[in-house]
A and B are shown apart, each in its own frame.
Chain A
Amino acid sequence: MNNKSVLTRIKNWNLLLPVVSLLLVMAVNIIHDAAIGANPLSFFMITLRQTTGNGTILYGRIIDILNRGSEVAILAIGMTLVVSSSAGTDISVGSVMSLCASFCCMLLAGYGVSSTTTLAVPLIVGILGGIFIGVLCGMFNGTLVAYFHIQPMVATLILFSAARAIGLLLCNDLIVYVRNEAFGFFGGYIGVIPTAFVIAALCIIVTSLFLKKTAMGMYIQSVGINPKASRIAGLNSKRMIFMTYTVCGLFAGIAGIVAASRITSADSNNIGLYFEMDAILSVALGGNSLGGGKFSLAGSIIGAYTIQAITTTLYALGVSSTQAPVFKAIIVILIVAIQAPPLRAFFKRRSAAKQVKGAAV
């Protein structure tokens, strides 16, 4: 009897889906390593390694995943809030990332300069400028969605196609290189730990504290579940939705700067390409409904790193980066198909029929 209650508890655990998928990915890695004759646990190995560029750093596949997956994790925070409050997705985040990176590098290098080692303005001005542009983009999206009642996907479609193009204009159609050590810090290492991971962790901690310590998390969920009822209950639904989009833009800006710092340049055409898809996928993989309402931030974060783990695993298995989307697509369809209401209803009916049968016997 006790056994069953544990089982139901596991079944109803809201992080079941992301954790199970993460475990599956790890299992695939272990089996693969064992099959090629390497140490089966090499996936979990973390070693200190001497590098030429960064000094002594932590090295290992897990560290690589935590490092590379940070941008998507940062985006996933904002995306979770947007999905929860407005039952829609912000598809502009990847483009906005690119715009923020371009603007930041343009400030740092000066307009029209394509490669520089000295900064034209103090580093902090460039960083804040980039993040500010992200917030502006978020506010633009938020205004359209909250106050003009435009479907989130259409509203964000505008910046999806425009932001990257504006970024190109800012960079004068060039790739702007800022080969400066201070700027490279955000994509580098603090001591032995990747900076990107630290930034992602900070963003996650601040957001979750904010959601837990204030009633904001609950407000956002209630707006997502029923905006009219929330308004009648005294919440300013529109402002709440506006705010979530602004926060999403802010995180897109931070992610953009991390991405630019990683390659110490603003490659407008490639920064953040398809990142919106990965961010949305993390939210879905985290067990959150894309129909809005209740959300789990932890789920989305695990989802984001799971996606990076999947990508890294695929590369380790010898799949090329252009072919990897096939597997991603199959995973997405499987995840959403098991969550689909008609299938759930079907399984419920079957288990109910079983119970009736058992009772009759």
Chain B
Amino acid sequence: MKTKSKMNGHTILLLITIGLFIVLYAGGCIAYSSRGFSHLQTFLNILITNSGLICVTCGLTVVMLTAGIDISVGALIAMDCMILAVGMRSGHNAIVMILIVLVIGIAFGMFQGFLVGYLEIQPFIVTMAGMFFCRGMTAVICTEQVSITEKTSKLFYDWANAKINIPFGGYLNNKGKYMVPYIRPSVVIALLLLLFTYLMLKYTKLGRAFYAIGGNAVSAAMMGLNVKKVKMVAYMLSSIFCSIGAICYALNTMAGSVSQATGLEMDAISSAVIGGTLLTGGVGNVIGSFFGVLINGTISSIVKTNGKLASSWPNILTAALLFVFIVIQSVFAMMRNRKK
């Protein structure tokens, strides 16, 4: 009985996601082994490029567990990056700017959470307004692209270029030089955040409250949970994680501009959905979302390695995967309903 309840549709979906990632990655390794796809560094590069997305997806998963949605994340990243870039250009310390960005994240999330939780406005509308607001504010702060250079902030520059070497998996390059695989600090931040979210969702009262509210808000309220407050906390977490993601993003791009991270919210949502999180709430976990991000990253990495495919292919492939996954989810849900 216990094993049966454990092997439900969602576990199978998670396994499919992980399996798909392995198949995709192995396929890439076989097809492009001559171009160095099989080196450990390729995988690490996927992690480095997507470190911001991993943070955002963690927050979004929490919101989606409460049956909500947060489409303001991409614009919030753009605004945060712009604040970081402009702040450092005018000579402020990197640490101060990072703290400011985090505080902005908390305040922004709190406001959105208040509107969703206490005023019961549809999350989609609230966060859409949030998206407009952040995107517009980015332009109000500065309409041009502002880059972070060694001159503007030595500290931030050093962080961005710091390499953390991995002791295994190196290879000899064409010139016979031994290449040591490395990751950037942003990956460490993202993975720590992932671990934190996983533990929080699994072992804390708050984490379980997210699941309870997403499953059935009315019964959660009857159980004595403060539904409004928990919802607000979910949006706050999303915005804070997003701000942390913005720092990772800034470390990668070293710039702030109005058009930065456009469409990132949709990448994050599709990653979470591919990872088995239901938009109806109550089901999902961050491990699945993490693999969702990896699948997205692998697809764009393969397309990049190929070099001949049009740039729009990653979008189309991700959308196709999303299609397959939501249809499987819906078929599982229908089967469950029929059993009842």
Contact = CB atoms under 8 A, between A and B. Distances in A.
Interface of A: 89, 144, 148-151, 153-155, 157-162, 164-166, 168-169, 172-173, 277, 280, 284, 290-291, 320, 322-330, 332-333, 336-337, 340-343
Which residue of A89, A148, A327 has the most chain B CB atoms within 10 A of its CB atom?
A148
Contacts of B139: 320, 322-323, 325
10 contacts: A149-B334, A150-B327, A154-B273, A157-B266, A277-B131, A323-B139, A329-B129, A336-B115, A340-B119, A342-B119
A270 to B, nearest CB: 12
B196 interface: no
Given A154-B279, A341-B120, A162 B320 contact: yes
Contacts of A162: 315-316, 319-320
A343 B136 CA distance: 28
A171 to B, nearest CB: 10
Which residue of B132, B315, B323, B334 has the most chain A CB atoms within 10 A of its CB atom?
B132
Contact of B143 (A144, A277, A280, A322): A322
B69 A291 contact: no
B58 to A, nearest CB: 19
A150 B125 CA distance: 19
Nearest to A276: B128
Chain B, interface SS category: helix
List 7 tightest A-B contacts by C-beta distance, closest first.
A326-B136, A162-B319, A322-B139, A325-B136, A165-B312, A329-B133, A165-B315
A165 B334 contact: no
B115 A337 contact: yes
Contact of A280 (B115, B128, B334): B128
B263 interface: yes
B326 A155 contact: yes
A161 B126 contact: no
Chain A, interface SS category: helix
Contacts of A149: 330, 333-334
Interface in B141-160: 143
Given A291-B122, A326-B140, A165 B316 contact: yes
Interface in B108-136: 115, 118-122, 124-126, 128-133, 135-136
B137 interface: yes
Given A151-B279, A172-B310, 10 more contacts: A150-B329, A151-B280, A157-B322, A161-B266, A280-B125, A290-B124, A325-B135, A326-B136, A329-B132, A333-B115
Nearest to A341: B120
B140 A161 contact: no
A277 to B, nearest CB: 6
A323 B120 CA distance: 28
Interface string B304-334: 0000001111011011101100110111011
A144 B310 CA distance: 28
Contact of A161 (B119, B129, B318, B333): B318
Given A89-B124, A158-B323, A340-B120, A320 B143 contact: yes
Contacts of B128: 277, 280, 332
A324 to B, nearest CB: 7
B125 A284 contact: yes
B298 interface: no
Contact of B258 (A89, A148, A154, A322): A322
A332 B129 contact: yes
Interface string B95-108: 00000000000000
Contact of B312 (A166, A280, A291, A328): A166
Contacts of B115: 333, 336-337
B333 A290 contact: no
A145 B340 CA distance: 22
Interface string B212-225: 00000000000000
Contact of B326 (A150, A280, A284, A330): A150
B300 interface: no
Nearest to B72: A329
A168 B310 contact: yes
Nearest to B143: A322
B318 A290 contact: no
Nearest to B314: A165
Which residue of B126, B128, B318, B327 has the most chain A CB atoms within 10 A of its CB atom?
B128
A161 B327 contact: no
Contact of A169 (B119, B131, B310, B318): B310
B121 A173 contact: no
Contacts of A342: 118-120
A166 B129 CA distance: 28
B260 interface: no
A149 B326 CA distance: 10
B88 interface: no
B186 interface: no
Contacts of A169: 310, 312-313, 316
Nearest to A173: B310
